[in-house]
C-alpha cells in the first residue's frame, strides 16, 4: 500500500503512468491482463475488459467464472497478482483501498442485498448521499435541506417513498435490492457495479428492476452481473461472458448466446 490510509480524499497527484495509450485514457474502466489466485486456484486469469463512459454492460457466466472476484478487484477488496486496473483513463485502482475507490465514484451493490437493517430506509439513503465523510464532519453535521431533497429524489426513483420510515430490516427482499440500488445512486458514482440485482425477485419486480437500471444507465455507466437471461434481454446491452476467469465471448446477447463455447459452458444445449 503506497497510499496513506488516513487519506480520505483522492490523493492530490493520482498515480499516473507515463503516456497511456488512447484506448486507456478514453475508457472509464480499463482492465488489462488481470490475474489473481487464491491458494493456487486462478479465480481471474489474464482478464481484459474495457467499459466506455456512459456504457451499460451485462456480465454473464457460470458459477465460479470470476464475476464477483472481478468486482472485488475493481472495488479494492482484492488486490490482483498481475495486470492493470485503470479508472477514468488515469487512476490506478490497484493502489487504492475500498474507501478511496468508493469516493472516486465507483458504487457497488452486493450479491446478497446489504443494507443497514437497524436504520430506517430514509437514514440508509441519507448516509449514502455524497457529503462530508470524516469523523468530525459527521459528528457535528446538521440536517441540511439539500440532502433532504436529494433523499426525496432517490426515494422516488427507487419507489420506496411510502416506506421511508420503516426499518430497512423489515423490507421485503426485492425492496432491499432497490434500497441498495438507491444507496448507490445517492453516492452519485460515475460507475455502478451491480451484482445480481434481480436475484430472488418475482417476474414483475424483475421487470421493474430492469426499467430502473435502464433509467439509471442514461446518466451513469453501469456494469450488471446477472444470471437471468430474460432480464439481460430486457436491458438490451452489450454482453460479456466470463469463463474460468477470462472473457469467453463478447457482443450482443444474440451473438453471445449463439457462440458455441458459451452454449457449451454456460447456456447448455
Partner 1 sequence: MMLTRFLFERIDRGGWVFLVLLGIAAVLVPVLNLAVPPGSMFHVSNTAVGLWGKYMTYALLAIAVDLVWGYCGILSLGHGAFFALGGYAMGMYLMLQIGPRGVYAHPTLPDFMVFLNWTELPVAWWGFSSFPYAMLMVALVPGLLAFVFGWFAFRSRVTGVYLSIITQALTYALMLAFFRNDMGFGGNNGLTDFKDILGFNIQSQTTRAVLFSLSVLALMAGYLVARAIVTSKAGKIIIAIRDAEPRTRFLGYRVENFKLFVWTVSAVMAGIAGALYVPQVGIINPSEFSPANSIEAIVWVAVGGRGTLVGAALGAGLVNFAKSWFTGAFPQGWLFALGGLFILVTLFLPKGILGTFTDWWKRRGETRKPPTASPASQPAE
Interface residues with partner 1 (CB under 8 A) are 5-6, 8, 75, 77, 98-99, 102-103, 107-108, 110, 114-119, 123, 126-128, 133-136, 138-141, 159, 162-166, 170-172, 174-175, 183, 187, 204-205, 208
- Cα–Cα distance between 125 and 1 in angstroms, integer? 31
Residue with Cβ nearer partner 1 (73 or 239):
73
Give me the least distance between CB of 207 and partner 1, in Å please. 12
Give me the least distance between CB of 265 and partner 1, in Å please. 30
SS (H, E, C) 119-185: CEHHHHHHHHCCCCCCHHHHHCCCCCHHHHHHHHHHHHHCCCHHHCCCEHHHCCHHHHHHHHHHHHH
Per the CB < 8 A criterion, the answer to whether 7 and 96 are in contact is no
Residue with Cβ nearer partner 1 (100 or 241):
100
Name residues whose C-beta falls within 8 Å of residue 172's C-beta, 6 or more positions apart in sequence: none
Give me the least distance between CB of 166 and partner 1, in Å please. 6
Per the CB < 8 A criterion, the answer to whether 75 and 98 are in contact is yes
Residue with Cβ nearer partner 1 (25 or 202):
202
The radius of gyration of the chain's CA atoms, rounded to the nearest angstrom, is 19
Per the CB < 8 A criterion, the answer to whether 74 and 193 are in contact is yes
- Cα–Cα distance between 10 and 105 in angstroms, integer? 10
Give me the least distance between CB of 124 and partner 1, in Å please. 9
SS percent in the chain: helix, strand, coil, step 5: 40, 25, 40
Give me the least distance between CB of 125 and partner 1, in Å please. 11
* Count of beta carbons in the 10 Å neighbourhood of residue 68: 20
Give me the least distance between CB of 156 and partner 1, in Å please. 14
Residue with Cβ nearer partner 1 (22 or 165):
165
Amino acid at each position: 500500500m503506497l497510499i496513506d490510509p488516513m487519506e480520505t480524499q483522492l490523493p492530490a497527484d493520482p498515480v499516473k503512468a507515463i503516456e497511456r495509450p488512447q484506448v486507456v485514457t478514453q475508457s472509464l474502466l480499463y482492465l488489462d491482463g488481470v490475474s489473481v489466485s487464491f491458494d493456487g486456484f486462478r479465480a481471474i486469469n489474464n482478464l481484459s475488459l474495457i467499459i466506455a463512459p456512459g456504457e451499460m454492460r451485462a456480465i454473464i457466466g457460470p458459477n465460479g467464472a470470476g464475476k464477483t472476484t472481478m468486482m472485488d478487484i475493481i472495488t479494492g477488496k482484492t488486490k490482483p497478482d498481475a495486470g492493470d486496473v485503470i479508472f477514468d483513463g488515469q487512476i490506478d485502482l490497484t493502489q487504492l483501498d475500498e474507501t478511496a475507490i468508493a469516493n472516486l465514484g465507483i458504487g457497488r451493490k452486493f450479491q446478497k442485498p446489504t443494507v443497514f437493517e437497524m436504520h430506517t430506509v430514509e437514514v440508509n439513503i441519507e448516509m449514502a448521499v455524497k457529503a462530508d465523510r470524516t469523523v468530525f464532519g459527521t459528528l457535528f453535521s446538521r440536517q441540511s435541506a439539500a440532502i433532504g431533497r436529494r433523499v426525496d429524489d432517490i426515494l422516488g426513483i427507487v419507489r420506496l417513498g411510502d416506506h421511508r420510515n420503516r426499518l430497512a430490516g423489515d423490507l421485503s427482499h426485492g425492496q432491499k435490492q432497490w434500497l441498495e440500488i438507491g444507496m448507490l445512486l445517492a453516492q452519485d458514482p460515475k460507475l455502478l457495479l451491480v451484482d445480481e440485482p434481480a436475484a430472488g425477485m418475482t417476474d414483475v419486480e424483475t421487470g421493474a428492476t430492469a426499467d430502473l437500471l435502464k433509467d439509471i444507465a442514461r446518466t451513469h455507466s453501469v456494469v450488471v452481473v446477472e444470471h437471468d437471461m430474460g432480464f439481460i434481454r430486457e436491458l438490451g446491452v452489450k454482453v460479456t461472458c466470463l469463463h474460468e476467469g477470462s472473457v469467453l465471448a463478447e457482443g450482443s446477447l444474440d451473438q453471445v448466446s449463439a457462440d458455441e463455447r458459451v452454449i457449451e459452458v454456460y447456456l447448455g444445449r
